[in-house]
Amino acid sequence: MSIQSEHVISDCKQLDSCGAIKMVLMPKDKDLGGFSVRRTLPTAKLKTIGPWIFFDHMGPATFQAGTGIDVRPHPHIGIATVTYLFSGDILHRDSLGSEQSIKPGDINLMVAGRGIVHSERERDEVRNSTHNIEGLQLWLALPEVAQETSPEFHHYPATSIPKTVIDDVSVTVMIGAAYGVESPVKTFSETLYIEAEIKQGQSLVLPNTSELGVYVVKGDMQCRDTHIPMHAMAVFDSPQGIKLTANQNSRIAMVGGKSLGKRYIEWNFVSTSKDRIEEAKKAWQSKEFPDVVGDEKEFIPLP
């Protein structure tokens, strides 16, 4: 996904009634013509959670036949992107020649490294009928030593992603290791991405990690006397042993890990160096990035 000016950076508020909560981030919805996007990271007050530098919740949205997701080719450097769908079907193409349909439960990991270009469209059979879309699009900052690595693309089907049950709560470990299971998804640093389906009245103890954000995709959660409503993200420092309880049937997404330190971010470029970002901007304007194979005719200009 490309950062565009129509996305709105979230507000946040400090809360300390649950001692481990650093803050609760409240994203603002932005309607993009029948398509809603909520951006939770980055914010003015919080740039990262562990290695995670970008967190978008797209949808849920219903598209009529002939309309749908149509993100033109655009570049990235210095990050790995993670795409995960709750519903829908997105067609990923990139400058490595990858062409992959993303379906609910799959994980697409695109390692930009020194530079990659990709587009996000829909297959004709999807676009030509009424269809729904909802999912998360996330960016991982790469460690400084890996920022200029060769670009890669990895697709992990839903059947390869481990699930477990903790205190009757269904947990999926998308990236990293927690709750006694480990995901096969490639990592470059200490990284967690976990999802859980929690029924009303059930509780889940949070995993042990350096930093953690808990986003309520749907439902309503509680941490002691701190309320975490739908589409809010509670940010924790040292969350080990903290328990969350569902006030109603809920789905949560947890992202975390060890911080990689300060990163500069401009448009779709992320780096520890401002000069490197300027290089990437000039390269995109000069059309020095490779084309997306099978999607060469269009592109998103540098804002």
> What's the pLDDT at 5?
33
Domain that residue 168 falls in: 11-260+267-285
Residue 178 belongs to a domain: yes
pLDDT at 128: 93
Query: Is the preceding peptide bond at 42 cis, omega within 30 degrees of 0?
Result: yes
In a domain, 186, yes or no: yes
Q: Is 233 exposed, middle or buried (0-12, 13-18, 19+ CB in 10 A)?
A: buried
Average pLDDT for 266-289: 98
Work out how many domains the chain is built from and give that number: 1
**Domain membership flag for residue 294:** no
Cα–Cα distance for residue pair 1/118, rounded to 1 Å: 9
> pLDDT exceeding 90 applies to what percent of the chain?
85
Judge whether 299 lies within some domain. no
Confirm whether 6 is domain-assigned. Answer: no
Q: What is the CATH number of the domain that holds 177?
A: 2.60.120.10
- Residue 291 inside a domain? The answer is no
In the predicted model, what is the mean pLDDT of residues 100-125?
Answer: 97
In angstroms, the CA 283 to CA 289 distance is: 6
Which of 274, 293, 281 has the alpha carbon at shortest distance from 117?
293
Domain assignment of residue 298, yes or no = no
Exposure string of 126-142, with b = 16+ CB inside 10 Å and e = fewer, is bbeeebebbbbbbbbbb
Asked if residue 92 is part of any domain, the answer here is yes
- 178 has pLDDT over 50: yes
Confidence band of 225 (pLDDT split at 50, 70, 90): confident
Q: What percent of the chain has pLDDT over 70?
A: 92
